[in-house]
């Protein structure tokens, strides 16, 4: 099979980590009989430097015509000629917002997995870290409070700000269906997070979840209030498999879930459309302070490529092979500088990519 991938190296360490993800994908292609064809696209600061905008219409169209998009990182340059002296709509991150909208990416997937070899970095107490955890936060990405009507105005002499939280049943249903489909590829449990004791939008959310659940009899479903979920993530994260929630709750909870792993350099993510097209990127930033030094940890980007194999291409066996190779590298004591501990072998960014390829 041939797959067209739009590659967006972006800024900072982006080109380095994307190069290693491509290296791993090519090894998968060689082993399993696939061909991955790459088209490079500029986005972020490099696009601003070249074209004056963070994402051109031509770049978006290239991404739209691809089977999937692989992104490194955008932004980071401050000081002289800073991209952040520009108006907000021309800054690097505006390109990311534009491509999400342009590709209809409504579902954000953020896995949070604690590797046994890295459990000492987990900020939770030892007994919780020893139990481990492996969860997927599924966040609705294009509705809710962040996209509702908003205004700030003077009312009776007092400045008043209003943000509107709006969801319709179709927006809720499509993200919930996506979560249940993902659960079917995992341990078949869904935790739906809401604030149904207070919010009408959450009561509608809970109603739609119950309706969708009827179509997935193999999946265990539970409703959980968002404040309780925030507590449970640090008390007993092992209980979670797939967590599905609305935009703002998902924004907060996914960051909390990522931090309990103790290493942001290991965290992949995906943003999916209603079809198979998705954008895959590491959760970390552009790290301009180490750009070009071959020091970056490419594992998050490589794991994002594994998510691409699984969710855009339905290549579960191939995704398993990448994830197993990453686990084996860590078991073998191979580390980049950010996760280096005594007794392990430190390698460069490209060295880590090579080590993972060797274990596929």
Please give the positions annotated as active site: 146, 195, 227, 251, 255
Nearest CA-CA partner of 136 in 74, 182, 79 = 182
**In sequence order, what DSSP letters do the residues of 93-159 get, joined into one string?**
HHHHHHHHHHTT--EEEEEEE--GGGGGG--S-HHHHHH--EEEEEEE-SSGGGTS-EEEEEETTEE
Residue 330 tokens read as 């860590």
Question: 3-class DSSP state for residue 40?
Answer: strand
In degrees and rounded to multiples of 5, residue 227 shows phi and psi of -70, -40
Strand partners, 62: none
User: Which residues lie below 8 Å from residue 247, measured CB to CB, with a gap of 6+?
Assistant: 139, 140, 141, 142, 143, 144, 145, 146, 147
Crossing angle (nearest 10°) for helices 299-311 and 316-331: 160
């Amino acid at each position: 099979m041939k797959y067209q991938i739009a590659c967006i190296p972006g800024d900072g360490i982006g080109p380095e980590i994307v190069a290693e993800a491509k290296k791993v994908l090519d090894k998968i292609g060689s082993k399993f009989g696939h061909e991955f064809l790459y088209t490079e696209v500029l986005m972020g600061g490099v696009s601003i430097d070249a074209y004056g905008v963070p994402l051109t219409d031509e770049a978006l169209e290239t991404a739209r015509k691809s089977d999937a998009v692989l992104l490194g990182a955008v932004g980071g340059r401050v000081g002289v000629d800073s991209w952040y002296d520009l108006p907000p709509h021309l800054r690097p991150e505006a390109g990311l917002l534009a491509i999400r909208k342009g590709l209809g990416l409504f579902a954000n997937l953020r896995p949070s997995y604690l590797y046994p070899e890295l459990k000492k970095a987990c900020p939770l107490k030892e007994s919780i870290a020893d139990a481990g955890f492996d969860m997927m936060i599924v966040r609705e990405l294009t509705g809710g409070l962040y996209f509702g009507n908003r205004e700030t105005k003077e009312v009776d002499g007092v400045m008043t700000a209003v943000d509107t939280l709006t969801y319709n049943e179709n927006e809720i249903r499509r993200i919930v269906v996506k979560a249940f489909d993902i659960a079917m590829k995992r341990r078949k449990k869904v935790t739906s997070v809401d604030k149904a004791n207070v919010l009408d939008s959450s009561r509608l959310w809970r109603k739609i979840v119950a309706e969708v659940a009827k179509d997935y009899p193999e999946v265990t479903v539970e409703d959980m209030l968002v404040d309780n979920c925030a507590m449970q993530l640090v008390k007993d994260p092992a209980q979670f498999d797939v967590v599905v929630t609305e935009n703002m709750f998902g924004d907060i909870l996914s960051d909390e879930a990522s931090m309990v792993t103790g290493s942001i350099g290991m965290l992949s993510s995906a943003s999916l459309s209603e079809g198979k097209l998705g954008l895959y990127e590491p959760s970390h930033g552009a790290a301009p302070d180490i750009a070009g030094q071959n020091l970056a940890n490419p594992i998050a980007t490589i794991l994002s490529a594994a998510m691409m194999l699984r969710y855009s291409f339905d290549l579960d066996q191939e995704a398993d092979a990448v994830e197993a190779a990453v686990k084996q590298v860590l078991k073998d004591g191979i580390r980049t500088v950010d996760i280096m501990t005594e007794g392990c072998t430190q390698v460069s960014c490209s060295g880590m990519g090579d080590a993972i390829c060797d274990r596929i």
